[in-house]
Amino acid sequence: MRTADLELAARCRAGDAGAFEELYRQHARRLFSLVVRMIGSVDDAEDLLQEVFLQAHRKLSGFRGDSALGTWLYRLTMNHCLDHLRARQVRMNRATESLDEEGAEEPTAPAPVVPAVVSRLDLERAIKMLPDGARAAFLLHDVEGFEHREIAQILGISEGTSKSQVHKARMKLRMILRR
């Protein structure tokens, strides 16, 4: 697998346009789904994935095969997503931070009813409400099927943190879906 990755990366670096298209075809669908769910917008996901692949094309010379090419691409993608979300959050906080002093809104209490079967539509909505870090770990683990060891590589965190983020995400989803 690693040898195949290294060969594909070498062909891309050598300017083989077909090789880079092969790389795109292998990973674009899964990466696109991940980006849509991470940033919540199909239009923005297109722009962001385009940036990811252009950056991947520029950075392929730095790929040494320490991880699978797919993991390397996931890492680039998640870095882009998290940067995008951080920038958006900073702007949103600054712009909508109330200039007047007001009391915070009361949180609404969840009703203790658990649906027997979780609908995919409800789950998609609930995923959008997760904190960024927990959403990233949850999508990689429960949706994309990565192991915690791989998630640790992709997100640059420890395996323990990956586990605790997935746990946090599941518990929060449970709370949201009980409403």
Partner 1 sequence: MNCELHDDLLDDYVDGVRATDHRSDERFAAFERHLAGCIRCQALVADLTSIRVAASTLDEHIPPPRLWATIASSIEEQQRQPWWQRQLGGAFSAWVPTAVAASIALLLVAGGWNVWQQRRVETSQQGGAPQPREAVPAEQHYEQAIAGLQELANAQNAALDPETRTVLTKNFAVIDRAIDESRAALAQEPASTLAQESLLDALETKVALLQDTVALASDTGGGPDEAAAAVKELNQ
Q: How far is CA 129 from CA 27, 37, 38, in A?
A: 26, 11, 10
- Does residue 119 interact with partner 1 by CB under 8 A? yes
- Angle at the Cα of 119 from the Cα atoms of 116 and 124, rounded to 5 degrees: 135
Kindly write out the interface string for residues 3-32 of this chain, putting x where it contacts partner 1 by CB under 8 A and - elsewhere.
------------x-x--xx--xx--xxx-x
- 6 closest CA partner among 65, 59, 47: 65
Q: Which of 172, 174, 179 is nearest to 113 (CA)?
A: 179
Q: Nearer to partner 1 by C-beta: 2 or 91?
A: 91
Toward partner 1, which CB reaches closer, 99 or 109?
Answer: 99
Cα distance between residue 106 and residue 109, in whole Å: 9
Residue 82 tokens read as 């998290």
Q: Does 123 bind partner 1 (CB under 8 A)?
A: yes
When asked if residue 113 is in the footprint of partner 1 (CB under 8 A), the reply is no
Contacts with partner 1 by CB under 8 A: the residue count is 58
Q: Is 128 in the site for partner 1 (CB under 8 A)?
A: no
Calculate helix-pair angle for 17-39, 69-96, nearest 10 degrees: 40
Query: Does the footprint of partner 1 cover residue 94 (CB under 8 A)?
Result: yes
Cα 146 to its chain centre, rounded Å, is 12
User: At closest approach, how far in Å is the CB of 152 from partner 1?
Assistant: 15
Instruction: Confirm or reject binding of residue 157 to partner 1 (CB under 8 A).
Output: no
The answer to whether 170 contacts partner 1 (rule: CB under 8 A) is yes
In the range 62-81, which residues lie near partner 1 by CB under 8 A? Answer: none
Smaller CB separation from partner 1, 2 or 83:
83
Structure tokens at 36: 């849509």
As measured in angstroms, the least distance from the Cβ of 170 to partner 1 is: 5
Record the tokens describing residue 107, joined without a space. Answer: 């949180």
Shortest Å, Cβ 11 to partner 1: 14
